[in-house]
Amino acid sequence: MAEGNGGGDPGSQIDGERTEDYQKLINYGLNEKVAAKLDEIYKQGKLRHEDLDERALDALKEFPVEGAVTVLKQFLESNLEHVSNKSAYLCGVMKTYRQRKQYNTDSMAVNPGKGPNEENLKAILDRSGYTLDVTTGQRKYGGPPPHWEGPPPGPGCEVFCGKIPKELYEDELIPLFEKCGEIWDLRLMMDPMTGQNRGYAFITFTTRSAANEAVRQLNEYEIQRGKKLGVTISYNNHRLFVGNIPKNRERHELYEEFAKHAPGLVEVIIYSSPDDKKKNRGFCFLEYESHKAASLAKRRLSSGRFKVWGCEIIVDWADPQEEPDEDTMSKVKVLYVRNLTQMTTEEMLKEKFDEFGKVERVKKIKDYAFVHFEERDEAVKAMDALQGKDLGGASMEISLAKPPSDKKKKEEVLRNREKRLMQMLAQRGDEGLWYLDDVRMPVPPAMLRGGRGGGRGGGRSDYGKWWNYYNYYWGPRPQKNTGYNYYWNNYSWYY
């Protein structure tokens, strides 16, 4: 490659003794300057030749010479005490270097600050017996605890901690969260571009009660003067939203296509067009077996190099909706009804559901609707009786509607999605993605659609969409034919 470092000048002389691994690097195809710098790291004991896998060596071989030397110098100066996979860490440093060059920032402009208090951190590790694993993207404490037997903690045991001061590290977070219960692991997310934390972390507890206690005790906790943490229950996301797929493709075709590019795909969820049931709406949801599998798929599919039948796709997380507690769901008197045809009217729905009790109002939006009952028992009776029944030429799928969540949280989700999409567009060089139709379809429930969940309180539906539809709309719609307009049309309604 033109930008690779090649074999270097065979006539050049490098001063100093070399280890026996130096010639291995030369034989592998590394430039002499790069091999010499790497050999220097070997001699200082910060890295062994056996620590580097082919991926790291290939990346160094293809790197521009000066860039590779700069990366190795930064690697040599790094604190590698808690880095278990040094080969992956080196690849992370190379990736960060490329990103800085892309954004025309100083390739060495990393100011990680003072870092954690190593004495306090060592005391925590000695006391707990946990390990600390550091990569360029995160600092992970624990997982699992030394005495742990059995499977990892289930859903509801993890909390998200936001608004963390950028100069804070795990040596201050661990003692704080330990007060709420036994920690399974703590992951402080790092920004390799700045060397500081990203302002948030994930803490998994061994029990759900400990996670709930952390939310109760530490949400709005003032960790520094004027700086309060934001702590909430976190749910691992297994689902991706994919936009701009061909509308004439069926579910099995999409499954075969996406399964080729990332492992762990479990299901493809599509919605039919209200006007033509043979066509999808130009987007789908990909459900993976784990968050790790979904994360890998997102990285691969959003690289900008992947197209679906010639269409450039947009990939983002399908943000999981928060689960209301049983007490809240026990008061719900609204049904969510989907899979409705265009000919089905609000009057037809009211007439059908009126057979089971007094219906206060009905609101139909495209191919789904919300039916408001005066009494909850009547709503449940109607759901049980009409589940799967035909109306207007299609079988209805019915569940209890989920009450609206906090508006501020919705606004924060909206801002985060906007930021992610704008970054994605900037990286691709897109000035505007205007070619998708207005989707405005809620995120599909994680549970079997049409079911009501345990205790008539666990069903997930799209009442948040209804709540947004009735006057909780903030800000004007952007102008047409802009990247922001694409974002608004296709992301802002995913609640």
CA distance 231 to 203: 10
CA distance 319 to 460: 13
CA distance 429 to 432: 9
Q: Is residue 299 part of a domain?
A: yes
**Do residues 95 and 103 lie in contact, with contact meaning Cβ atoms separated by under 8 Å?**
no
Q: Is residue 472 part of a domain?
A: yes
Q: Is residue 123 part of a domain?
A: yes
Q: Is residue 17 part of a domain?
A: no
Does one domain contain both 44 and 72?
Answer: yes
**Helices 407-428/483-491 angle, 10° precision:** 140
Ordered per-residue pLDDT tens for the chain, 495 residues: 334 555 444 333 444 688 888 998 999 999 999 999 999 989 988 888 988 888 889 989 888 898 889 889 888 888 777 787 888 888 888 888 887 777 666 544 445 556 788 899 999 999 999 999 888 888 999 978 888 888 888 878 999 999 999 999 999 999 999 999 999 999 999 888 787 899 999 999 999 999 999 999 999 999 999 999 999 988 778 899 998 899 889 999 999 999 998 899 999 998 876 667 788 888 899 999 888 889 899 988 887 777 888 888 889 888 665 566 677 788 899 999 988 888 899 999 999 999 999 999 999 988 889 999 999 999 999 999 999 999 988 889 999 988 765 555 555 655 665 555 555 555 555 444 433 333 333 444 443 333 333 333 333 333 333 333 332 222 223 333 333 233 233 333 332
Does one domain contain both 228 and 243?
Answer: no
CA distance 335 to 354: 13
- Identify the DSSP state of 202: E
Does one domain contain both 415 and 290?
Answer: yes
* Domain extent for 281: 239-320+406-442+465-491
Phi first, then psi, for residue 368 (nearest 5°) are -145, 165
**Helices 86-102/65-77 angle, 10° precision:** 120
CA distance 361 to 363: 7
Does one domain contain both 367 and 250?
Answer: no
Does one domain contain both 309 and 379?
Answer: no
Q: Is residue 12 part of a domain?
A: no
Which runs of consecutive H residues, i.e. helices, occur in 148-277? 170-178, 208-218, 251-259
Does one domain contain both 298 and 346?
Answer: no
Q: Which of 176, 207, 234 is the last residue of a domain?
A: 234
Does one domain contain both 216 and 155?
Answer: yes
Does one domain contain both 372 and 474?
Answer: no
Q: Which of 234, 254, 287 is the last residue of a domain?
A: 234
Does one domain contain both 357 and 373?
Answer: yes
CA distance 214 to 233: 9
Does one domain contain both 284 and 413?
Answer: yes
- For residue 6, count other CB atoms closer than 10 A to its CB: 16
Does one domain contain both 195 and 300?
Answer: no
Helix (H, G, I), strand (E, B) or coil at 104: coil
Can you give the CATH number for the domain in which 154 is found?
A: 3.30.70.330
Residue-wise pLDDT for 391-439, tens only, equals 988 889 999 988 765 555 555 655 665 555 555 555 555 444 433 333 3
Residue-wise pLDDT for 1-46, tens only, equals 334 555 444 333 444 688 888 998 999 999 999 999 999 989 988 8
Q: Is residue 306 part of a domain?
A: yes
Q: Which of 46, 68, 102 is the last residue of a domain?
A: 102
Joined together, the tokens standing for residue 489 give: 């049309």
**Do residues 200 and 160 lie in contact, with contact meaning Cβ atoms separated by under 8 Å?**
yes
Query: pTM for this structure?
Result: 0.53
- Identify the DSSP state of 261: T
Instruction: Quote the number of domains for the chain.
Output: 4
Beta bridge partners, 444, equal: none
**Helices 65-77/54-62 angle, 10° precision:** 130
Q: Specify the pLDDT at position 404.
A: 66
Query: Maximum distance among all alpha carbons in the chain?
Result: 92
Does one domain contain both 332 and 362?
Answer: yes
